[in-house]
Amino acid sequence: MPEDFNLKSFLAELPALPGVYRHLDAQGDVLYVGKARDLKRRVSSYFQKNLSSPRIAHMVARVAKIEVTITRSEAEALLLENNLIKRLKPRYNILFRDDKSYPYLQISAHEAARIAYYRGSTNGPGHFFGPYPNAWAVRETIQILQRIFLLRTCEDSVYANRTRPCLLHQIGRCSAPCVGTITLDSYQADVSRAIRFLEGHTSEILNELEARMMQASEELAFEKAATLRDQMKALSAVLQQQSMEQTGNDDVDIIALSHAGGRYCVNLAMVRGGRHLGDRAFFPTQVQGDEAADVLAAFVTQHYLERMLPPLLVCSHALPDADLLKLLAQQHNTKSRVLIRPQGIHKTWLEQAQRNADLALSRVLSESTARADRTQALAEVLQLELDEQALDALHIECFDISHTAGEATQAACVVYKNHAMQNALYRRYNIAGITPGDDYAAMRQVLTRRYSRVAEGLGAMPDLVLVDGGKGQVEVARQVFAELGLDVGCLVGVAKGDKRKVGLETILFADGRPAKALGIESAALMLIAQIRDEAHRFAITGMRAQRAKTRNVSRLEGIVGVGAKRRQKLLARFGGFSGVADASIDDLSTVEGISQDLAERIYFALR
């Protein structure tokens, strides 16, 4: 503890009130964030002789200071704790990836309602069902509704301008309300049945369809009876295929934990309206000897604090804090309970979720081992002496240049770390002020821009810098590093082999070490090729987007009568070039300053 921080007096002065506490180390970095119903009792518990785990003891040994924030209630402390964990990412808190946006199925509020895949707020008009664990589950449900209830999926602009039924009607997936093949009242009745189906009232719908079919048959309306028979057949097939159905209209989340190899998997299965929608695996980070109950508590808190809590949670382990669920339910103004030893269908669901958790964890451990082995092989080839922790943190950046005959030159930087590509750290650089097509100048510019800040002490230097290119590119990179005073030993070039075949590349070293041809069986070369190919892909996609943007603006600039102001108004009115290109002559003429003649000129120039 620092001299200016007296732990004994600090603990003595702590109030017995709810709040959030933060453990800080000597550098002021937050080690751990926690909430408490009673700050005095909770914080003092960390400084007793018998701590709950070696991990907590290790953390406490590094605590140099404690900060607390008093809140009005424990529920408010829970919310603040979660926000601080997401923002600060303390190393001793269990962290889950923050996937805020789950997909929903939307049935719109139109007169002829549309079914659609949806992400976002569910406070708007219409009916929203979900959340679903993934996009595939939503689209599968949409296909089921199309087969059984023949509901439309087309955009409103398409629906409003149809003059004849589309292909979906011809293959029996839509009743075509757009052209009046079904009355709006009948269509709305099908929409109502679809909503009831999603709410779990499948038996009622089957009985209703059967009664309507028998009535149609008695009235000698055999074509209608056949349609209803096909709907019943499709609905029965769906229920038979999904053996986990027939459960009423429950909304349940099933949470199963699997633990192996020092890692945890939390598998979340979702049931809405009695229908099992699928599951999703989560892999927490910064788990260091934590008990399964602690991992479960961290998941439940981080997952449900900003998402709707279902009426029932079926869990493989008990929550360590009995009041946690009450606090979360209080946040959503709802009621929920947790079931630990389920029976019947709930037990079947939990067993299935547990099997899926075990399989997902086994797969990730296998993949992690293979990725770590490749990183180890690369470290050996490059003669890097790294312990296990340093190997996990091995930071590689790879650069590539892309252009089309000198047009729209872009440089790309991709990052490999923790045995995986880190998409969030990718960067693109627009290259300007060079002779078009001069890849050496482009490489010099991007490396100077990227590492000049590092040379000034404003960023971390990667362990390895890969350059996609031969001796010329490596020499340019060496010169840049030498000018900036950086170690050229971390610079490596990847020279393409004969006919650019993967496995025939040569590894070039900027520090004078002899080049190496690793061979197609080399795990190290396969990793280098993966990183290089990802840099190439990222550079090309960026270059193409930049080129398209430049060419599109140029096409507008080339139209007589379209100056900068009119071009700006057109792009603003239609949301970009593609909107201008898709606009009709009448639409174009509605823009201020665009006459009918000029609208025609623009329309035909963009065709």
Check whether residue 404 and residue 448 sit in a common domain: yes
Query: Is residue 122 a part of any domain in this protein?
Result: no
C-alpha pair distances (Å), 555 with each of 403, 552, 577, 589 = 20, 5, 10, 18
Counting DSSP H helices and E strands in the chain, the numbers are 21, 18
Question: By C-alpha distance, which of 531, 491, 532, 527 is closest to 375?
Answer: 527
Check whether residue 289 and residue 398 sit in a common domain: no
Residue 78: band (very low, low, confident or very high) from pLDDT cuts 50, 70, 90: confident
Containing structural domain, residue 34: 7-88
C-alpha pair distances (Å), 255 with each of 86, 344, 517 = 22, 16, 49
Residue 503: band (very low, low, confident or very high) from pLDDT cuts 50, 70, 90: low
Query: Is residue 147 a part of any domain in this protein?
Result: no
Instruction: Sort residue 406 into left (φ over 0), alpha (ψ -120 to 50) or beta.
Output: left
| DSSP, residue by residue, 32-57 | EEEEESSHHHHHHHTTSSS-S-HHHH
Residue 314 pLDDT exceeds 90: yes
Check whether residue 447 and residue 397 sit in a common domain: yes
Cis peptide before 131 (omega within 30 of 0): yes
* Secondary structure of residue 556 in the 3-state scheme: helix
Average the pLDDT over 449-467 and give the result: 87
Average the pLDDT over 97-104 and give the result: 72
Residue 354 pLDDT exceeds 90: yes
Residues 6+ apart with CB under 8 A from 140: none
Check whether residue 564 and residue 534 sit in a common domain: no
What the block records as the tokens of 195 is 């909503």
Check whether residue 495 and residue 573 sit in a common domain: no
**257-290 per-position pLDDT tens digit:** 998 877 889 999 988 877 778 888 998 888 876 7
Residue 11: band (very low, low, confident or very high) from pLDDT cuts 50, 70, 90: confident
Residue 2 pLDDT exceeds 60: no
Average the pLDDT over 560-575 and give the result: 76
| DSSP, residue by residue, 187-221 | HHHHHHHHHHHHTT-HHHHHHHHHHHHHHHHHTT-
Check whether residue 533 and residue 564 sit in a common domain: no
Rounded Cα distance between 179 and 162, Å, is 7
* Secondary structure of residue 30 in the 3-state scheme: strand
Check whether residue 543 and residue 570 sit in a common domain: no
Strand partners, 260: 263
Query: Is residue 159 a part of any domain in this protein?
Result: no
Check whether residue 21 and residue 60 sit in a common domain: yes
Q: Which residue has the higher pLDDT, 145 or 500?
A: 145
Task: Classify strands 337-339 and 312-315 as parallel, antiparallel or unpaired.
Answer: parallel
The CATH number covering residue 462 comes to 3.30.420.340
Last residue of a domain, one of 88, 121, 141: 88
pLDDT, position 573: 76
**158-205 per-position pLDDT tens digit:** 888 888 888 888 888 888 899 888 889 889 988 988 888 877 777 777
Query: Is residue 74 a part of any domain in this protein?
Result: yes
Rounded Cα distance between 362 and 367, Å, is 9
Q: Which residue has the higher pLDDT, 561 or 463?
A: 463
Question: By C-alpha distance, which of 37, 92, 38, 88 is closest to 60?
Answer: 92
Rounded Cα distance between 607 and 585, Å, is 12
Check whether residue 419 and residue 353 sit in a common domain: no
Residue 387 pLDDT exceeds 50: yes
Instruction: Sort residue 285 into left (φ over 0), alpha (ψ -120 to 50) or beta.
Output: beta
**Amino acid, res. 39:** L
Check whether residue 458 and residue 566 sit in a common domain: no
Helix (H) or strand (E) run with residue 328 in it: helix 324-332
**555-565 per-position pLDDT tens digit:** 676 677 777 77
Check whether residue 543 and residue 398 sit in a common domain: yes
Query: Is residue 381 a part of any domain in this protein?
Result: no
Check whether residue 454 and residue 356 sit in a common domain: no
Q: Which residue has the higher pLDDT, 582 or 464?
A: 464
Q: Which residue has the higher pLDDT, 464 or 230?
A: 464
- Terminal-to-terminal C-alpha distance of the chain: 73
Into how many domains does the chain fold?
4
The CATH number covering residue 67 comes to 3.40.1440.10
What length does the chain have?
Answer: 607
Query: Is residue 256 a part of any domain in this protein?
Result: yes
